[in-house]
Amino acid sequence: VRVDGQVDEGLYRDLIALEVCDEHDGASSFAIKLGIYLKDDGTWTRLDEGDGNFQVWQRVTIEAGFEGSADVLIDGYIAGISPYFAPQGADSYLLIWGYDATYSMTQEEKVVPWSNAKYSDVATSIFDRGIKYPAHGYEPADLQLIKHRLAAWSRWAARHPVIGTLQ
């Protein structure tokens, strides 16, 4: 795993899970689950450290294979970061998810003029068009991971009708 072209050896120490969903007809995605813990000084690993921080739109490259012959599974960008603070500190984790570059091609910018409109009218107009809270994909970490797994399973099951499909 490389972040902005650099290998972070500490990442492997904290790695709980790594998932890549390769899509032939859409954006491929990834999810990285890292363990975090509270240090004696009251700071969290990966969250309060200068070198261990992740940011949206950082480039992530995930490779797999044998020594000297690794293949790139996905080369994309971080779309979201969500920490989970468990009641037992040892169970806390950081979930990082993202997509390959084709995902950005599905995004579109809309410009709508609101002349002489109150802010409340603008907000009502935006939310009436189907933008729902939470905005920008910010959801609890567990829900993101479940959605990632369900989407991957649904696509696989649709290609293998002998087993069935999810509704």
Read off the pLDDT band of 136 (50, 70, 90): very low
By the 8 A CB rule, do 161 and 155 touch?
no
Has residue 60 got a pLDDT over 90?
yes
Report residue 61 CA to chain centroid gap.
Answer: 13
> What percent of the chain clears pLDDT 70, i.e. is strictly above it?
68
Strands 93-100, 6-7: pairing kind: unpaired
Entry pTM: 0.63
- The SS3 of residue 21 is strand
Tokens 């363990």 — which residue? 35
Structure-model confidence comparison of residues 119 and 82, the more confident one:
82
In whole angstroms, give the CA distance from residue 65 to residue 21: 16
